[in-house]
Amino acid sequence: MTKCLVTGGAGFIGSHLVEACLEKKSKVVVLDNLSTGRKENLPLSDSGVEFLEGDITDRALLRNIKNQHADLDYVFHLAAVPAVPLSMQDPVNTHRVNFQGTLFLLDTFKDLALKKFVYASSASVYGNPNRVPVREDFLPVPLSPYGADKLAGEHYLRIFNDSFNVPAVACRFFNVFGERQDPSSPYSGVISIFFERAMASKNGINSSLEIYGDGKQTRDFIYVKDAVKAWLHLAEEPGIRGEVFNVGYGSSTSILELAHKVREVLGADIDVNFVEPRKGDIKHSQAEIQKLRDTGLDFDYSFDEGLKRLAEYLEVKVQSES
Ligand code: NAD
Ligand code: UD1
């Protein structure tokens, strides 16, 4: 039986990863400070999950975890301040968590015989590239402290892979969406916000979809179950290490198109408003995914299937709550 440490495991992507690890009969230790994650996202009773509430910047805590779990096979590192705008408002705190936290984890767990250390990087490392789709070997020029810290984390992963024999891989996630993505903050993922507002409007609450800028900016949205499938595939392939992989579908959707799709999939007649563009916002983002495909990975879903599944999940949730 394998054992995984999942940082940020009470969050959106982390909780789906925990679920997938449990399906593979792994033991799972979750480290999360619950800043944006929620315990309710985790199956805690009798599931094999040990939940530790704490911070990845607490080095003494990390050392204790290492001593108590010296038999760890995998470190899956997702804990982060996950929003670009928050990093523009408070670059120092973002750096402390997103960069220092990553370094502390690498440094603490480098002595264990890990099968893999997997890191949640981001498409934001690319900034505004000369052309899309973006390939892993394009020169990254991040536009935000968030992107810069994710990129610095990738460099440290490679250094620990090459010089300290930590088998490490970074997933450059594009825009991940799906069940349990929290819509409650203005910095939440756009799909979670649009779905929440469209559901409210369907239920008679006055609401609108706000688009920052002209809505022509594009994103490569990937359904969370496929993002997690890619992550575990890269973790479990022993020959893959010291590398960075784009994790998206390789497609591109404008925010305006997204607004129409959300209205359509939920059958919601909701207005769309245009407001000021967001600072640090990337214009176009689309992944080239040949490198990922060459590892033998196939996805189980598509963007439209993911949207449909999310709509069904939310409809059932609303019914069960009313
Ligand atoms: P999330 O906010 O749901 O998850 C982040 C988790 O980390 C939360 O549970 C939070 O409580 C925890 N956390 C934050 N700071 C912590 C700290 N100092 N110590 C311990 N735990 C801490 O966000 P998510 O969307 O699930 O993102 C997960 C990871 O994937 C992040 O690293 C994010 O940057 C990255 N990512 C996400 C996307 C996306 O589209 N959602 C895209 C690219 C990269
Ligand atoms: C997202 C992730 C980030 C990740 C990056 C990788 C979240 C919260 N952020 O950032 O962790 O590293 O993808 O590509 O998941 N928008 C609107 N109206 C809204 C909300 C957003 O028009 O109500 C627009 C934004 O201006 C942006 C686009 O939608 O152009 C996507 O925004 P958002 O979902 O916040 O994601 P990213 O900033 O791309």
Q: Are residues 130 and 68 in the same domain?
A: yes
Q: Ligand 2: distance of its center to the CA of 251 in Å? A: 16
Give the whole-number percent of the chain exceeding pLDDT 70.
Answer: 100
The structure tokens listed for 322 are 């009313």
Of the candidates 17, 63, 242, the residue with the CA atom closest to the CA atom of residue 4: 17
pLDDT in tens, 241-298: 999 999 999 999 999 999 999 999 999 999 999 999 998 788 999 999 999 999 999 9
User: Over 202-230, what HEC string results?
Assistant: HCCCCCEEEEECCCCCEECEEEHHHHHHH
Whether the CB-CB separation of 98 and 124 falls below 8 Å is answered with no
Region of 213 please: left (phi>0), alpha (psi -120 to 50) or beta: left
Residue 158 within any structural domain of the chain: yes
Q: What is the pLDDT of residue 235?
A: 98
**Ligand 1 atom nearest to 79, measured from its CA:** 7
Residue 97 within any structural domain of the chain: yes
Q: What is the pLDDT of residue 123?
A: 97
Ligand 2 pocket test, pick from 194, 219, 244 with the greatest ligand atom count within 8 Å of Cβ, gives 219
The structure tokens listed for 169 are 């891989």
Answer whether 281 contacts ligand 2 (Cβ < 6 A). yes
Rounded CA-CA distance 9/34 in Å is 9
Residue 49 within any structural domain of the chain: yes
The SS3 call for residue 146 is helix
Confidence grade of residue 145 (pLDDT, cut at 50, 70, 90): very high
Q: What is the pLDDT of residue 178?
A: 98
Confidence grade of residue 299 (pLDDT, cut at 50, 70, 90): very high
Residue 212 within any structural domain of the chain: yes
pLDDT in tens, 189-226: 999 999 999 999 999 999 999 999 999 999 999 999 99
Residue nearest to atom 29 of ligand 2 (CA): 190
Which ligand lies nearest the alpha carbon of 98?
A: 1
Residue nearest to atom 27 of ligand 2 (CA): 281
Q: Are residues 23 and 143 in the same domain?
A: yes
Q: Ligand 1: distance of its center to the CA of 48 in Å? A: 22
Amino acid sitting at position 202 = K
Q: Are residues 67 and 202 in the same domain?
A: no
Range of the domain at 79: 3-175+224-247
Q: What is the pLDDT of residue 106?
A: 98
For the residues 137-147, what does the mean pLDDT come to? 96
Q: Are residues 210 and 288 in the same domain?
A: yes
Q: Which residues pair with 77 in a beta bridge?
A: 7, 119
Whether the CB-CB separation of 228 and 17 falls below 8 Å is answered with yes
Q: Which residues pair with 209 in a beta bridge?
A: 272
Residue 322 within any structural domain of the chain: no
The secondary structure element, H or E, covering residue 116 is strand 116-122
Q: Are residues 207 and 72 in the same domain?
A: no
Q: What is the pLDDT of residue 171?
A: 98
146 is annotated as an active-site residue: yes
Q: What is the pLDDT of residue 128?
A: 92
Answer whether 181 contacts ligand 2 (Cβ < 6 A). no
Count the domains in the chain.
Answer: 2
Q: Are residues 171 and 207 in the same domain?
A: no
Q: Is pTM beyond 0.85 here?
A: yes
Q: How far does Cα 256 stand from its chain's mean position?
A: 23
Residue 190 within any structural domain of the chain: yes
Residue nearest to atom 6 of ligand 1 (CA): 8
Residue 52 within any structural domain of the chain: yes
The structure tokens listed for 206 are 């006055």
Q: Ligand 1: distance of its center to the CA of 97 in Å? A: 10
The chain-wide mean pLDDT, for the chain, equals 96
Which ligand lies nearest the alpha carbon of 216?
A: 2
Q: Are residues 134 and 186 in the same domain?
A: no
Domain final residue, candidates 205, 232, 247:
247
Sign of the CA dihedral running 77, 81, 82, 88 = negative
Catalytic residue among 146, 156, 223, 301: 146
Q: Are residues 203 and 68 in the same domain?
A: no
Q: Are residues 31 and 143 in the same domain?
A: yes
- Whichever domain contains 205, its CATH number is 3.90.25.10
Answer whether 101 contacts ligand 1 (Cβ < 6 A). yes
Residue 321 within any structural domain of the chain: no
Q: Is the pLDDT of residue 45 over 80?
A: no
Q: Are residues 56 and 196 in the same domain?
A: no
Q: Are residues 141 and 161 in the same domain?
A: yes
Answer whether 11 contacts ligand 1 (Cβ < 6 A). yes
Q: Are residues 206 and 64 in the same domain?
A: no
Q: Which residues pair with 116 in a beta bridge?
A: 74
- Whichever domain contains 166, its CATH number is 3.40.50.720
Confidence grade of residue 187 (pLDDT, cut at 50, 70, 90): confident
Confidence grade of residue 322 (pLDDT, cut at 50, 70, 90): confident
**Ligand 1 atom nearest to 83, measured from its CA:** 34
Q: Which residues contact 98 (CB under 8 A, 6 or more apart)?
A: 80, 81, 87, 146, 149, 150, 153
Rounded CA-CA distance 139/302 in Å is 28
Q: Is the pLDDT of residue 310 over 80?
A: yes
Answer whether 255 contacts ligand 1 (Cβ < 6 A). no
pLDDT in tens, 80-120: 999 999 999 999 999 999 999 999 999 999 999 999 999 99
Which of 218-246 are b and which e, b meaning 16 or more Cβ less than 10 Å from the residue's Cβ? bbbbbbbbbbbbbbbbbbeeeebbebbbb
Whether the CB-CB separation of 21 and 28 falls below 8 Å is answered with yes
Of the candidates 299, 287, 307, 8, the residue with the CA atom closest to the CA atom of residue 124: 287
